Amino acid sequence: MKLTYSVMFAIAIAFAAGPAAAAEGKTLQSEKHAFRIVTLVQGLQHPWSLAFLPDGRMLVTERSGRLRIVSKDFKLDPQPVEGAPRVVAAGQGGMFDVVPHPKYAENGWIYLAYSGPGDGGHGTELLRAKLDGHRLTQEQVLFRLEPKSSAGQHFGGRIVFDRDGHVYLTLGDRGDKERAQRLDDHAGSVIRLHDDGRVPADNPFVKRPGAKPEKFTLGNRNIQGAAFHPKTGELWTHEHGPKGGDEINVIRAGRNYGWPVITYGVNYGIGTRIGEGTHKPGMEQPLYKWVPSIAPSGMAFYEGDKFSNWRGNLLIGALRDEMLVRLELDGEKVLKEERLIRNTVGRIRDVRVGPDGYIYLLTDEANGVLARLEPVRK
Residues marked active site are found at 154
Q: Torsion angle, CA of 218/220/225/231, rounded to 10 degrees?
A: -50
The DSSP bridge partners found for residue 189 are 171
Say whether 163 sits in a helix, a strand or coil: coil
**DSSP annotation string for 204-250:** TTTTSTTS-TTBS-B--S-EEEEEE-TTT--EEEEE--SBS-EEEEE
| Cβ 145 vs Cβ 121: under 8 Å | no
324-330 long-range contacts (CB < 8 A, ≥24 apart) are: 324/348, 324/351, 324/359, 324/361, 324/373, 325/294, 325/296, 326/30, 327/288
Report how far residue 311's alpha carbon sits from residue 186's, in angstroms, rounded to the nearest whole number.
36
Cα–Cα distance measured from residue 191 to residue 193, given in angstroms and rounded to the nearest whole number: 7
Q: Which residues touch 232 (CB under 8 Å, ≥6 apart)? A: none
Task: Centre a 10 Å sphere on the Cβ of residue 365 and count the other Cβ atoms it contains.
Answer: 20
Least Cα distance to 125 among 150, 160, 159, 90 occurs for 159
CA–CA distance, 190 with 249 (Å, rounded to integer): 12
CA dihedral for 275, 212, 254, 298, sign (positive or negative): negative
Spatial neighbors of 125 by CB under 8 A, at least 6 apart, are 85, 113, 114, 115, 116, 141, 143, 144, 145
Pairing mode of beta strands 296-301, 288-290: unpaired
